[in-house]
Structure 1
Amino acid sequence: MKTAIHHLASRRHWIGLACAALCAVASPLAWAQDYPNKPVKLVVPYPPGGPTDIVARAVAQKLQERLGQPFVVDNRPGAGANTGAEAVARSAPDGYTLVVATTAHAINPALFTKLNYSLLKDFAPVSQLTSGPLVIVANPALPANNVAELIALAKSRNGGLNYGSSGNGQSTHLSAELFSAMAGVRMTHVPYKGSAPALTDVMAGQVDLMFDTMLSSMPHVKGGKLKALAVTSAQRSAAAPDLPTVAESGLPGYEAIAWNGLLAPAGTPKEVVARLNTELKAVLESHEIRQRFEAQGFAAAWSAPAAYGAFLQAEVDKWAKVVKASGAKLD
């Protein structure tokens, strides 16, 4: 009798373990099929109106249409884009809190003496979103209309020329530092909390110039409130084919680009990441989004999660060298 009871208990034990194992496998799959079943928060670590915010809102709208749940943009600027990134790194890894990363997040590991998160360890890469050049824009009254004249003016003023950026350590900051180092000039850096307020001061004449994304700058150029001197990519941009590159108009060898991408907290189920990646592929390959981004100087740039992870590693390594050469450091 005892033996029979023992065998029955043992059998129930192994059946229970088998069911638990099956549930462990099935649960993420079921979760992914059901995802999302509530609003998704898309954290943008910059103020409203800037290039990252513009990209995020366009992508959020399309994801909402495809997945049937609100994708809510949550602007959390501060600390060189680290405030928003850290908040997402500490969020539940369930796919309902995501962050739109930028070139700045690849720069920050070398720039900041202490970060409370790791770009490469605390996030699960989902996909790159965009890639594109920066453009040097200036107040229309600035007495320089091309790169050669800008370099000459900067040398004559010896630090008296100032430039705005979307924040310390952003691509809009270090691309200008790279320019200054290669041109052998000194310019004074004026950091802002995002591109939008910086551009406002350039247009008002409070700041002389800025290295900014075409997405946020070119509408003001077309409106006559800013003048564009050059793009920072190796080739001219299809969005402004008459605008020369920095390299061809006075500073050979210069190149700097900006990008956006989507990250989830580390530990987010792979099935959820894969679902997001699949939907993003459809969004970024749509004619509407491609046209919308390309008209502003950005290219839609979908990538598989593993490829985006490799890209992030390469970006961290590349910008570490630029930061070291510039001598820039932030606490």
Structure 2
Amino acid sequence: MQTHRSIRHLALVLAAILPQFAAMVIPTAASAQPDAAWPRRPLTIIVPGAAGGTIDIPIRLFAQKLSARLGQPVVVDNRPGSGGIIGTQAALRAPADGYTLLSGNVGPQAINYSAYKNLSYKPEDLIAMTDVISFPNVLVVNAQSSIRSVADLIAQMKSQPGKLSFGSAGIGQTSHLTGELFKMRTGTDAIHVPYRGSTPATTALLAGETAFQFDNLTQALPHIRAGKLRPLAVTAAQRMPSLPDVPTMAEAGVENFLSTAWIGIFVGAKTPPEIAGKLQENLVAVMRDRDLIAQIKQIGGIPGGQSQVEFAAFVTAERARWEKTFRTSQLSLD
């Protein structure tokens, strides 16, 4: 004990007479403490999807508002691929200091835990902070297609088993699994064509490379409004205000078919509570911004803004729901 006191005394004496020694000693003690001045530098939001895609578009709108509120740049870093696993891994490799956020979604933060037997991360590795947007999928075909209804699509799939193809934003994404569920519910078959994000998948459908797709509403809506895609049904319980003339899947004759996508903000589980609390306060405040709410509704989404407790409970329930879906359908992505 006497030795420790002597070393401490010597360090204080040297720090007083040698500024360069002080610079070595003081940061070592401070580095173990939470960043009281957070945020003092730019933040990064990792998006596990392609630029211009369904996850990317609302997060960029959100990032602009968050930047204005915090007075710091907020950089969007796209890391597409592997059903959101690549982006999630990148976020978990970053220091848990409140400067790297993950734009989590239903795929990597709910579906993957049941879809993959050997996943490189666990639910407890992340803290669910708040939701940003949610939206149903919409079943679409190219506007030049002869398919004009869900019944038409089912009839063609049954007359040409395994011939028609459907695109998705990637293996394990909701656009993929919704297509698989559609095949099971209707007793049909089709070829799944995965892409690296919703934008290239939609581009392929527009080019006639695939026959149909369960696209996220925010991604499909501009093309529907432009007359390039034809909506057949939405995967919601009620019709969507942005597509009032488009039936639900139940109205189109396919019962028990609901699929809602969502996007939220997550951070590493080791983020200091003080910083996580500050971040949560600012995230929820941004989601109350009237301009952002209007922008989210304009692209066909439902604005979020749940508390950390509410959103965490929601994500847990989503994992359980998709686990039941995989168990019932006997699907596996390994």
Query: What TM-score do you get using the length of structure 1 for normalisation?
Result: 0.88
Q: Corresponding residue for 2:138?
A: 135
Q: Is the 8 A contact 1:133 1:297 kept in 2?
A: no
Q: Corresponding residue for 2:121?
A: 117
Q: Distance in 1 between matches of 2:307 and 2:60?
A: 21
Q: Confirm whether residue 193 of structure 1 aligns to residue 192 of structure 2.
A: no
State the 1:247 CA deviation. Answer: 1.0
Q: Corresponding residue for 2:288?
A: 285
Q: Corresponding residue for 1:245?
A: 248
Q: Corresponding residue for 2:149?
A: 146
Q: Corresponding residue for 2:18?
A: none
Q: Confirm whether residue 76 of structure 1 aligns to residue 79 of structure 2.
A: yes
After superposition, where does 1:175-186 map in structure 2 within 5 Å? 175-186=178-189
Q: Corresponding residue for 2:13?
A: none
After superposition, where does 1:58-77 map in structure 2 within 5 Å? 58-77=61-80
Q: Corresponding residue for 1:3?
A: none
Q: Distance in 1 between matches of 2:146 and 2:50?
A: 31
Q: Distance in 1 between matches of 2:93 and 2:103?
A: 15
1:209-263 Cα shifts (integer Å, max 9, x gaps): 1111111111011112211111111111111112111111121221110000110
Q: Distance in 1 between matches of 2:148 and 2:253?
A: 12
Candidates 37, 41, 46, aligned match of 1:43: 46
After superposition, where does 1:213-292 map in structure 2 within 5 Å? 213-292=216-295
1:70-95 Cα shifts (integer Å, max 9, x gaps): 11000011111101101212221101
State the 1:27 CA deviation. Answer: 5.0
SS for the counterpart of 2:124 is: coil
Query: What TM-score do you get using the length of structure 2 for normalisation?
Result: 0.88
Q: Which runs of 5+ in 1 are unaligned?
A: 1-5, 10-22
Q: Is the 8 A contact 1:174 1:323 kept in 2?
A: no
Q: Which runs of 5+ in 2 are unaligned?
A: 6-28
Candidates 319, 324, 328, aligned match of 1:321: 324
State the 1:135 CA deviation. Answer: 0.7
1:19-64 Cα shifts (integer Å, max 9, x gaps): xxxx99x954xx35x2111011100011101010001101111000
State the 1:282 CA deviation. Answer: 2.2
State the 1:294 CA deviation. Answer: 1.1
Q: Corresponding residue for 1:88?
A: 91
Q: Distance in 2 between matches of 1:230 and 1:275?
A: 41
State the 1:319 CA deviation. Answer: 0.6
SS for the counterpart of 1:43 is: strand
Q: Confirm whether residue 304 of structure 1 aligns to residue 293 of structure 2.
A: no
Q: Which amino acid is the alignment partner of residue 244 of structure 2?
A: P
SS for the counterpart of 1:193 is: coil
Q: Distance in 2 between matches of 1:54 and 1:63?
A: 15
Q: Is the 8 A contact 1:104 1:171 kept in 2?
A: yes
Q: Corresponding residue for 2:8?
A: none
Q: CA RMSD in A?
A: 1.9
The 4+ residue runs of structure 1 with deviation greater than 3 A are: none
State the 1:141 CA deviation. Answer: 2.6
1:282-331 Cα shifts (integer Å, max 9, x gaps): 22222211111112221111111122111111111111122233333233
Q: Distance in 1 between matches of 2:264 and 2:184?
A: 28
Q: Corresponding residue for 1:17?
A: none
Q: Distance in 2 between matches of 1:132 and 1:224?
A: 21
Q: Confirm whether residue 163 of structure 1 aligns to residue 176 of structure 2.
A: no
Q: Which amino acid is the alignment partner of residue 147 of structure 2?
A: A
Q: Distance in 2 between matches of 1:175 and 1:200?
A: 19
Q: Distance in 1 between matches of 2:64 and 2:311?
A: 22
Length, aligned pairs only: 307
Q: Which amino acid is the alignment partner of residue 177 of structure 2?
A: L
Identical positions, percent: 40
Q: Distance in 2 between matches of 1:229 and 1:292?
A: 25
Q: Is the 8 A contact 1:238 1:294 kept in 2?
A: no
